[in-house]
Amino acid sequence: MPITVGQDTAKTRKSLTVAGQTVSYYSIAAAEKAGLGDFSRLPAALKVVLENMLRFEDGKTVTTDDIKAFSEWADNGGKANRELAYRPARVLMQDFTGVPAVVDLAAMRDGIVALGGDAQQINPLNPVDLVIDHSVMIDEFGNPRAFQMNVDREYERNMERYQFLKWGQGAFNNFRVVPPGTGICHQVNLEYLAQTVWTDEDQNGEMVAYPDTLVGTDSHTTMINGVAVLGWGVGGIEAEAAMLGQPISMLIPEVVGFELTGKMVEGTTGTDLVLKVVEMLREKGVVGKFVEFYGSGLDHLPLADRATIANMAPEYGATCGFFPIDDETLRYLELTGRDKDRIALVEAYAKENGFWRGPDYDPVYTDTLKLDMGTVVPAISGPKRPQDHINLDAAAKEFHAYVKNFREGRDINGKSEARWEAEGGAPEPVDIPGDQGHHARGFVSTEDSKYQMHDGSIVIASITSCTNTSNPYVMIGAGLVARKARELGLNRKPWVKTSLAPGSKVVTEYLEAAELQDDLDAIGFNLVGYGCTTCIGNSGPLAPEISKCINDNDLIGVSVLSGNRNFEGRISPDVRANYLASPPLVVAYSLVGDMNVDITTEPLGKDKDGNDVYLKDIWPSQKEIADLVQKTVKRESFIEKYGEVFEGDEKWQEVETSEGETYDWPPQSTYVQNPPYFQGMSKDPGTISDIKGARMLALLGDMVTTDHISPAGSFKESTPAGQYLVERQVPVREFNSYGSRRGNHEVMMRGTFANIRIKNEMLDGVEGGYTKGPDGEQTSIFEAAMAYQDQGTPLVVVGGEQYGAGSSRDWAAKGTNLLGVKAVIAESFERIHRSNLVGMGVIPFEFTGGDTRSSLKLTGEETFDITGLEGDIKPQAEVPCTITYADGSTKEITLKSRIDTAIEIEYVEHGGVLHYVLRNLAKSA
């Protein structure tokens, strides 16, 4: 479908001829000549947004003042408080977030028909790619049958969802589905879908070149910034609006420049680098900002490492982590099979329009920080936050400290050695005679052996996630560690569940070409599937005897994974401490099986002759790795493996589905249900009302993540979601996961605030999705919310700092809305979740004047009256709130509304962004 460019853009439109083809483009230099400002020292990331304004300038949605604001940004030290209407070129989805998005689109078709419109008005105007990557679960591992058996179970569990997605592929325009078993969406995007510079015909039939941009319904969409494609994660709600032609409302962001110098030293990996970057940027504070990487170090940084850094932007809190176009970008596009003419266009366009990073690249930044890559050391991160960086040689010591604190009732986050020292030194572990310093232990007996498990036993070691499996240097490195370990006679410990889940089939191609897959297989890292697996919580069940030992003895089980997230309760219900590590370290930790071991100084095991084997004995050199990468990672592999990316295997081709413009909702389905958002919707919006007499549903602490609010993993029969399925005769074996059931609002609202590790401070020391109901008795969050709804009582949730960190999942906002929560009051919000709450009509508020839940002595017994919302409320308005305590006393405080822009006020008035879009489409009909 042609792009629609603005009507006031003639003065900036120029032409460029490359490889015999002439294309139009929107020239930043021409905008300067037209007197719109000096843009010469804008960061490349911001020039992408500027080009978007030039291309869509129409005098209404985008004006010349919007364009001039970029010059003012540079003149004002990298700051400008101006709202923009930004239009990304395309949308990327995965199936966990994509199914509910397609459910919403299907429901909107029903809704617009009910309002007198045409179902065909609900169609993506921008290209949408949905990659099915979140549904494969590791039921089988450690043997050659694992891949096929896991794929078979995936189809058994998810057939209803796949039938629905196939319907969507046929019913909607501009909507493609990449079938299961292909890869992870971000790696498929990096290796195939992205073009760096996009081309399309405009409404006049002329070919236009412009920067490739996107939003995605997964927070790690940011990975694509490694190849100079500006993209970030949004909730499904916001993505759906973008599909339907609604611009993304955003303020001109601050851009933090991160200067990289030097080069990585022997023994370190790109994962070590990114874990250090995450720690530094979290400490800096970059929420809601762009980060752009620059400096001489980029000359020595492969694009695979850049993509790893860009991938983890949600972990360091930024909107994106951007790398400008340079020679390495072109080399990667060539390697991964992009068309030669497209690569020539990327180079010519970048140099012509000021996007190229050359030796004279010297933009203005809002702020900067610097890292010499030569100072990076091997590291891991954990036990429950990605930013908790730990030097590898301090990992065992800090795990001991974590166990001691946990056992003594101080459940702390992991801390770096420097932070421990700043606070008086790390606590020493308590030695228990005869137990080697471990606080708890148990024994496992099998037919073959009997062994002890204790606090720190590593029960999951998983090479998983697009973050690292997209990087051939660390994947080849992992294979070489496996080869050297195998040659010496080492193997994984019997209690370790090992798995290898690459992000694309190309990884298997080069591991087999290097003859490393046999070595990985020999120590248990067999292929289990092409998907997110452990990283999203699809680690599958542990062996029953191991699970029983952990739970019977209250052990602190450990996982080590090459992923990007290690939040509480995410990886496995049996695992309390989770550590992020490079793939080679994942292999090494599987050999020792114990987090208490300092693998930098203590032996990993003994060789065939009884000699101690140390990490240095099996660690490959950078040259070994680079030589194998050069030999086995080939352009032809990418061309072959992506040649039929949308075709799928026989299983996908045999999936049968219904046809028709609107979906025939199967009433018996427990996976896909028609949501209530648009049913009975009026043609006109309402108004924002004051919130009076609200009760508190949950009182939460700092760093409450979207995993806490809307978990993705498995759930038990005893939970409200489990009871719902049992009542519908679904056996426990077929429960699947919360993530796979996001197309059913009945399951998801029962799973909201239901993470097994969430702590509601209204209750004393209780973990899980519980609160106090209207009668003051402990009950589930869901049951309490329904009881309050029956009484007509509005609800609020109160939280601490960084509320809503983590994934982009819109169900964290949808579930909050469906439980009857009208407002969330926190000390600060993460970017995506704040936007999602607004998109569902829930108002985010921040405390002001130093007020916190602690200083206000909140217990959950209070009622809240938030006024000043009715009438002409402004973006980020400060409004009064009266708290009435249980004893009848009151306190007046001021809250800051985080409805940040004028258009967001309209969204809330309509009840949400999709309601806004639907009503406007109905009016246009």
Same domain? 787 vs 906: yes
Same domain? 484 vs 606: yes
Closest C-alpha among 86, 99, 77 to residue 167? 99
Structure tokens at 283: 């400490």
Residues facing residue 198 across a β-bridge: 210
Query: Measured between alpha carbons, how far is 190 from 223 in angstroms, rounded to an integer?
Result: 8
Q: What is the mean pLDDT of residues 557-576?
A: 91
Q: What is the mean pLDDT of residues 563-589?
A: 93
CB 745 within 8 A of CB 754: no
CB within 8 Å of 768: residues ≥ 6 apart: 754, 755, 756, 757, 758
Checking if the pLDDT of 601 tops 80, the result is: yes
Same domain? 703 vs 614: no
DSSP state of 713: S
Lowest-pLDDT range of 184-188, 189-193, 238-242, 547-551 = 238-242
Determine the 3-state secondary structure of 232 from DSSP: strand
Structure tokens at 341: 């003419």
Helices (H), 523-621: 544-552, 583-592, 615-618
Q: What is the mean pLDDT of residues 1-29?
A: 87
Structure tokens at 756: 């097994």
Is residue 254 situated within a structural domain? Answer: no
Which pLDDT belongs to residue 807?
A: 75
Please give the C-alpha separations between residue 54 and each of 232, 494, 661, in angstroms, as whole numbers.
Answer: 21, 60, 36
Signed CA dihedral, 567, 573, 578, 582: sign only: negative
Question: Count of domains in the chain?
Answer: 2
Longest dimension (CA), the chain: 81
CB 765 within 8 A of CB 795: no
Q: What is the mean pLDDT of residues 138-166?
A: 94
Q: Is the peptide bond before 383 cis (omega within 30 degrees of 0)?
A: yes
Lowest-pLDDT range of 4-13, 145-154, 163-172, 594-603 = 4-13
Cβ burial, residue 280 (10 Å; 0-12/13-18/19+): middle
Checking if the pLDDT of 448 tops 80, the result is: no
DSSP state of 865: E
Checking if the pLDDT of 495 tops 80, the result is: yes
H or E element in which residue 443 lies: strand 441-445
Which pLDDT belongs to residue 765?
A: 86
Please give the C-alpha separations between residue 311 and each of 367, 496, 512, 720, in angstroms, as whole numbers.
Answer: 21, 27, 26, 34
Higher pLDDT pick, 356 / 684? 356
CB 342 within 8 A of CB 197: yes
Same domain? 431 vs 575: yes
Looking up tokens 């005679």 gives 433
| pLDDT tens sequence across 113-142 | 999 899 999 999 999 999 999 889 999 999
Is residue 511 situated within a structural domain? Answer: yes
Same domain? 560 vs 698: no
Give the CATH number, domain containing residue 843: 3.20.19.10
Which pLDDT belongs to residue 413?
A: 53
Which pLDDT belongs to residue 417?
A: 41
Share of the chain above pLDDT 90, in %: 80
Cβ burial, residue 34 (10 Å; 0-12/13-18/19+): middle
Phi, psi of 92 (to 5 degrees): -120, 135
CB 796 within 8 A of CB 821: yes
CB 175 within 8 A of CB 130: yes
| pLDDT tens sequence across 614-644 | 999 999 999 999 999 999 999 999 999 999 8
Query: Measured between alpha carbons, how far is 605 from 104 in angstroms, rounded to an integer?
Result: 54
Checking if the pLDDT of 313 tops 80, the result is: yes
Checking if the pLDDT of 179 tops 60, the result is: yes
Same domain? 843 vs 912: yes
Query: Measured between alpha carbons, how far is 463 from 920 in angstroms, rounded to an integer?
Result: 47
Residue at 628: amino acid letter: L
Same domain? 587 vs 696: no
Phi, psi of 631 (to 5 degrees): -80, -30
Rg (CA), the chain: 27
Is residue 126 situated within a structural domain? Answer: no
Indicate the pLDDT class of residue 235, thresholds 50, 70 and 90.
confident
Same domain? 470 vs 585: yes
Is residue 69 situated within a structural domain? Answer: no
For 191-223, letters b (16+ CB in 10 Å) and e give: bbbbbbbbbbebeeeeebbbbbbbbbbbbbbbb
Q: Is the peptide bond before 794 cis (omega within 30 degrees of 0)?
A: no
Give me the chain's average pLDDT, please: 92
Q: Which range of residues forms the domain containing residue 499?
A: 379-633
Domain boundary among 633, 664, 680: 633
Indicate the pLDDT class of residue 244, thresholds 50, 70 and 90.
confident
Helices (H), 757-897: 781-791, 811-818, 831-839
Which pLDDT belongs to residue 249?
A: 86
End-to-end alpha carbon distance in the chain? 20
Same domain? 696 vs 629: no
Residues facing residue 347 across a β-bridge: none
Is residue 521 situated within a structural domain? Answer: yes
Query: Measured between alpha carbons, how far is 464 from 570 in angstroms, rounded to an integer?
Result: 14
Please give the C-alpha separations between residue 657 and each of 101, 127, 650, in angstroms, as whole numbers.
Answer: 18, 22, 15
CB within 8 Å of 606: residues ≥ 6 apart: 489, 612, 613
Indicate the pLDDT class of residue 65, thresholds 50, 70 and 90.
very high
Which pLDDT belongs to residue 155?
A: 93
Is residue 383 situated within a structural domain? Answer: yes
Is residue 169 situated within a structural domain? Answer: no
Query: Measured between alpha carbons, how far is 506 from 509 in angstroms, rounded to an integer?
Result: 5
Structure tokens at 355: 């996007």
Which pLDDT belongs to residue 438?
A: 54
| pLDDT tens sequence across 824-845 | 999 999 988 999 999 999 999 9
Which pLDDT belongs to residue 439?
A: 64
DSSP state of 11: G
Which pLDDT belongs to residue 414?
A: 44
Looking up tokens 């071991």 gives 597
Please give the C-alpha separations between residue 198 and each of 194, 209, 585, 883, in angstroms, as whole numbers.
Answer: 8, 6, 38, 53
Residue at 138: amino acid letter: I
Which pLDDT belongs to residue 440?
A: 78
CB 353 within 8 A of CB 51: yes
Lowest-pLDDT range of 24-33, 321-330, 649-658 = 649-658
Same domain? 546 vs 695: no
Give the CATH number, domain containing residue 576: 3.30.499.10
Determine the 3-state secondary structure of 172 from DSSP: coil
Query: Measured between alpha carbons, how far is 578 from 333 in angstroms, rounded to an integer?
Result: 35
Structure tokens at 759: 């702590």
| pLDDT tens sequence across 702-735 | 989 999 999 988 899 999 999 999 999 999 989 9
Closest C-alpha among 748, 853, 736, 722 to residue 809? 748
Q: What is the mean pLDDT of residues 160-179?
A: 94
Share of the chain above pLDDT 70, in %: 96
Closest C-alpha among 238, 196, 368, 345 to residue 295? 368
Determine how β-strand 795-798 pairs with β-strand 821-826: parallel
For 605-630, letters b (16+ CB in 10 Å) and e give: beeeeeeebebeebbbebeebeebbe
Same domain? 441 vs 513: yes
Which pLDDT belongs to residue 407?
A: 83
Closest C-alpha among 694, 707, 738 to residue 803? 707
| pLDDT tens sequence across 460-484 | 999 999 989 999 999 999 999 999 9
Is residue 914 situated within a structural domain? Answer: yes
Query: Measured between alpha carbons, how far is 191 from 338 in angstroms, rounded to an integer?
Result: 9
Determine the 3-state secondary structure of 366 from DSSP: coil
Cβ burial, residue 889 (10 Å; 0-12/13-18/19+): exposed
CB within 8 Å of 764: residues ≥ 6 apart: none
Same domain? 462 vs 602: yes
Cβ burial, residue 760 (10 Å; 0-12/13-18/19+): buried
For 778-791, letters b (16+ CB in 10 Å) and e give: ebbbbebbbebeee
User: Angle, nearest 10°, between helix axes 913-924 and 236-243?
Assistant: 20
Cβ burial, residue 398 (10 Å; 0-12/13-18/19+): buried
Determine the 3-state secondary structure of 702 from DSSP: coil
Query: Measured between alpha carbons, how far is 70 from 67 in angstroms, rounded to an integer?
Result: 6
Domain boundary among 633, 652, 668: 633
Q: What is the mean pLDDT of residues 55-65?
A: 93
| pLDDT tens sequence across 394-444 | 999 999 999 988 887 765 554 434 444 444 544 444 443 334 455 678 888
| Conformation bin of residue 452: beta by default, left when phi > 0, alpha when psi is -120 to 50 | beta
